[in-house]
Amino acid sequence: MELRQLVYFDAVVRHGGFTRASAQLRVAQPAVSAQVRRLERELGTPLLHRTTRRVALTAAGEVFLARIRPVLEQLDDARAALADLAGQERPLLRVGATPLLGPLDLPSALAECRRRHPGLRLTLREALIGELLTALDNEELDVVVGPIHQDLSRRYVGSPLVPERVVLVVPPASFRSPVLADYRDEPFACLVAGSGLHAILRAAAAAEGFEPRIDYEADQPATVRALVSAGLGVALLAASTARAAGPPVDVVELRQPPAHPPLGVIRRSGELTAAVATLQGVLA
């Protein structure tokens, strides 16, 4: 008696005939029929009543099926458990990324990593840079793609890939000036406190002798842009965010623009896996 005979017999009963069973099993119908007949010969009794339209269980078939189905179910459970174990043992690359990455095409880079490392499991988490670095510290992520600030801790290695710059965005057809101080009386929209852009705005305003009135704080740069587009205020944004597709804003190049950190790859010091090296190389 072979395992496939039990599987074929169970499939014939489940699907009500040899034709449907063979289609589900992706096995030629004559092969299914032959194995079931062989099973009946080995057991010494017919298990099925065969008609031109369908099959039905004999009394012996009902008894036999009741005994083998728990075995087949346990086999399926065992296969699933082994598949889960195999999945856990596959190489894993956990990537964190800030919402907007300028010219860096992260989805295409992840796809290329998977092509170069067959079997690689990829996960992606999007958040602001502070949250991602905390996750990197806690070993919840393997690599972060985003802005590399000058005060980056020595716990990390930052590899800059592309430059970024800061521009001012204002509502369409509104007052425009290349001097940030001329907007001292305007409400500002910005990312939440603790974000890099929030710190850039406060430092740039302080350098020009005023404290910005930040009336609107958001978690996403796209939301900041939408607030400005709606006429609720002005904002400092990365140029890639300001010029990307989205709600209309006017972009003002400041006479003395604050520095924006370059975009690149950040990892923990002393750790450079093949997958991280590949991601960095593809993004470069």
Q: Which of 86-95, 215-224, 253-262, 268-277 has the lowest mean pLDDT?
A: 86-95
Residue 49: φ, ψ to 5°: -90, 120
Whether 3-89 shares its CATH topology with 166-252 is answered no
Residue 256 has what pLDDT?
93
Binned at pLDDT 50, 70 and 90, residue 90 comes out as low
Q: Give 72's Cβ-side CA count (13 Å radius).
A: 17
The CB density around residue 32, as the number of other CB atoms within 10 Å, is 24
Residue 272 has what pLDDT?
81
- Which is higher by pLDDT, 207 or 80? 207
Q: 180: which DSSP letter? A: G
Residue 264 has pLDDT above 80, yes or no: yes
Q: How many helices (H) and strands (E) does the chain have?
A: 10, 12
pTM beyond 0.95: the answer is: no
Residue 89 has pLDDT above 60, yes or no: no
What residues have CB less than 8 Å from 206, skipping those under 6 apart? none
Residue 49 has what pLDDT?
87
| Pure H helices in the chain | 3-15, 18-25, 29-43, 59-89, 106-116, 129-137, 196-207, 221-229, 239-243, 274-283
Binned at pLDDT 50, 70 and 90, residue 81 comes out as low
- Distance CA(187)–CA(234), nearest Å, equals 6
Residue 14 has what pLDDT?
84
CATH classification for the domain delimited by 166-252, as one of 1.10.287.610, 3.20.20.450, 3.90.320.10, 3.40.190.10? 3.40.190.10
Binned at pLDDT 50, 70 and 90, residue 27 comes out as confident
Residue boundaries of the structural domains of the chain: 3-89, 92-163+262-283, 166-252
The CATH number of 3-89 is: 1.10.10.10
pLDDT tens-digit map of 91-120: 789 999 988 788 889 999 999 998 888 888
Class of domain 92-163+262-283: alpha beta
What residues have CB less than 8 Å from 27, skipping those under 6 apart? 8
Average pLDDT along the chain:
89
What residues have CB less than 8 Å from 47, skipping those under 6 apart? 9, 36, 39, 40, 57, 58, 60, 61, 64, 65
Contact assessment for residue 200 and residue 206, using Cβ atoms and an 8 Å cutoff = no
